Structure 1
Amino acid sequence: MKAVVLCAGEGTRLRPLTYTSAKHLIPLANKPVIYYTLESLREAGIVDIGVVVSPNVEEEFQSALGDGRAWGIKIEYLLQRQPKGLAHAVSCARDYVGQEPFLVYLGDNLLQYGVKEPVQRFSQSQAQATLLLTEVEDPRSFGVARLNAQGNEIIELVEKPQRPPSRLAIIGVYLFDRRIFEAIEQISPSGRGELEITDAIQRLIDQGHRVTPQLLQGWWKDVGRPEDMLDANRLLLEGLQTVIRSPLGPEVIVKGRVEIAEEVLIERSELRGPLIIGRGAQIHDSFVGPFTALAENVRLDKSEVEYSIVMEGAQIEQVGRIDHSLIGRGVHLWRRRRPPDAYNFVIGDKSQVRLI
């Protein structure tokens, strides 16, 4: 079995971070999102992986992932030249997949327990497609599956229904055989001008092919928004164990589970886990609170950071308390010692600026 990881989305809900980096390469617990996907696929025994990317981020992904040998896998990059929907993105992998069954994984999704069990079940089944489903409180924001009376086949898919037929939402993992490509050829663009994967799967159902459900075990996160990124970071840090690889400086207080990499300098500060600190970070006279990830070479001075992701090379100096924040690579935040005489702005459309 092969896998196809879809990473061609523009990540508009995560701007401005995604103006300079693909959302799949934003770190959670100090590892890019897509690393968790690749590890999950390797654990499931899948070593041939096609990564669907848009031309503007192909080089960035190649630089970050290479040919996959770091994970014991083989990566091939597949271009989706225009954003025409999920079904179109899947069709870009047709030649790569060939006649093999394959797994489709949306690159901005995280699953607590990975995909090993779904892969095994699909391999042993006679289904032409399998969808991972999870129960949600309000299905109206999701694609929703309606099952047969026995609960072992999907008989209808409804996209964002006002009257949901169930609470079973479709998540971003699908397993297919080659028939899905024929179904994609037979569908038309939706009202938003895209080829929808749910329309292609519904075509399989209407033609009498067997489409089966698998209920997800454990948590699932779609990390398409800043608040989702922070929540996924929290979930990953929940499983952290204490590992301290650098000597602690004077007057350092550590509470809870903390992972500290090599070459880290910390002095006169309090660390309250779960939190992770990357190689080369420097922390002086500061507080780092729970559910925070400080990446490599971050510098923190006379500040407080809690429930946040601070990316590589960022500097935070004397800014007071930062909470529920995503701080990009190489950012420099600092506070002037006195209020400015005047403010100078270049502010984009529909911005909101609060001065305190």
Structure 2
Amino acid sequence: MKALVLAGGTGSRLRPFTHTGTKQLLPIANKPVLFYVLESLAAAGVREAGIVVGSYADDIRLAAGDGSAFGLDLTYIRQDSPLGLAHAVSVARGFLADDDFLLHLGDNYLDGGVTDFAARAAAEPAAARLLVTPVPDPSAFGVVEADPAGRVHRVEEKPDRPRSDLALIGVYAFGPVVHEAVAAIRPSARGELELTHAVQWLVDHGHDVRADVTTSVWRDTGSVDDMLEANRHVLDRLDGRLDGKIDPDSAVVGRVRLHEGAVVRGSRITGPVVIGPGTVISDAVIGPYTSIGANCRVHDSSIEGSVLLDGADVDRAGRIERSFIGRDAVVTVPRHPYAHRLVLGDHSKVHLHP
């Protein structure tokens, strides 16, 4: 079975970070979201995967390469404009041919991966198989109505009055008949070819469409809060390993992953925490659920429940909580009046005054 990974979206909810990079390469526990997807597909037995890419195609190609690092053979497929998920399927038609395939959104994190789902799709082929999960507010998602046996009767995109609490989570299995459905639908009111419309076309034309319910932790990492929650979840499973340098005046407590080349001086680190290579932590307190990328500097500051991307510099910034700080961003403050929450894009500079 082939796989198609969609990584061509604009990521408007993650601006300003997506002004300078693609959301699929933003990190969870210092590893790009996209890498979790590729590893999951490889673990499920996929060997050929296509990645639909847009304006940040070069960045994604540079990061993922030919796929050999994941056990995959990757093909890059250009989508000139983000005209919908079904449009992405249509531009990948040549790669997919008439094969069954898994489709996975490149910015979605699913704990435990797709191995079981892929196995069911292979053992019991259907025109479409949808992975869904119960959510408290289904109106924000594509919503699936299915009978107790999992046969799908209706799929709606962000309905005002949902008739089910089962939300699509961005993982699908399709047979080749989906290409007929994609060719038959027309753009929605927002000008996109909606995958939910293609699935509903399959239902309306009598094809077998199934829903598989999962209760695994899932995050659509389309917002800063989603990224922080996904980071927290992955760090909860972190194995500690101290490969960097820690001076005698420092204390490291709990599960901390300190990469080779990182330095901790006069600081306290309380895990779960991951700190990338080349990063220097001095006279600082790094609290639980924090990921700090490579070549960062944190001095005379306290950071908890946050993500710092590569090259971030935080100096005398007091207490920072639940923040997402971009690449090469600089944060300084002369005094420590209270806690701050920051969402800073790449190359930002912030000077906080009491």
TM bucket (normalised to shorter chain) is: over 0.9
Aligned residue for 1:130?
A: 129
Distance of 2:70 and 2:141 partners within structure 1? 33
Aligned residue for 1:79?
A: 78
Matched, 1:89 2:72: no
| CA RMSD between the two structures | 1.6
* Residue pair 2:334, 2:352 contacting (<8 A) in 1 also: no
Aligned residue for 2:7?
A: 7
Distance of 1:89 and 1:235 partners within structure 2? 30
Amino acid at match of 2:139: R
Deviations 1:133-163 (A, max 9, x none): 1011121211111112x43210111222233
Amino acid at match of 2:282: H
Aligned residue for 2:282?
A: 284
* Residue pair 2:129, 2:173 contacting (<8 A) in 1 also: yes
Deviations 1:167-208 (A, max 9, x none): 111110011011111101111111111110000000001111
CA shift at 1:335, angstroms?
Answer: 2.7
TM-score, structure 1 length as denominator? Answer: 0.92
* Residue pair 1:305, 1:323 contacting (<8 A) in 2 also: yes
* Residue pair 1:130, 1:214 contacting (<8 A) in 2 also: yes
Aligned residue for 1:254?
A: 252
Distance of 1:173 and 1:355 partners within structure 2? 46
Aligned residue for 2:306?
A: 308
CA shift at 1:336, angstroms?
Answer: 4.7
Correspondences of 1:17-28 after superposition (within 5 Å): 17-28=17-28
Distance of 1:354 and 1:298 partners within structure 2? 19
Uncovered stretches (5+) of structure 1, i.e. residues with no partner: 338-352
Aligned residue for 2:138?
A: 139
Deviations 1:198-252 (A, max 9, x none): 0000000111100011111410000000111111000100101221112310221
SS state of the match for residue 157, structure 1?
A: strand
Amino acid at match of 1:223: T
Distance of 2:226 and 2:284 partners within structure 1? 26
Equivalences, count: 340
* Residue pair 1:6, 1:51 contacting (<8 A) in 2 also: yes
Distance of 1:184 and 1:302 partners within structure 2? 56
TM-score, structure 2 length as denominator? Answer: 0.93
Deviating more after overlay: 232-241 vs 328-337: 328-337
* Residue pair 2:301, 2:319 contacting (<8 A) in 1 also: yes
Identity value in percent: 42
Uncovered stretches (5+) of structure 2, i.e. residues with no partner: 336-350
Aligned residue for 1:105?
A: 104
Amino acid at match of 2:136: E
Matched, 1:167 2:140: no
Amino acid at match of 1:50: G
Distance of 2:145 and 2:10 partners within structure 1? 30
Correspondences of 1:233-244 after superposition (within 5 Å): 233-244=231-242
Aligned residue for 1:227?
A: 225
Distance of 2:292 and 2:78 partners within structure 1? 33
SS state of the match for residue 316, structure 2?
A: strand
SS state of the match for residue 184, structure 1?
A: helix
1:317 to 311, 315, 318: 315
Distance of 2:52 and 2:162 partners within structure 1? 31
Aligned residue for 1:198?
A: 196
Distance of 2:175 and 2:44 partners within structure 1? 17
Distance of 1:33 and 1:7 partners within structure 2? 11
* Residue pair 2:334, 2:353 contacting (<8 A) in 1 also: no
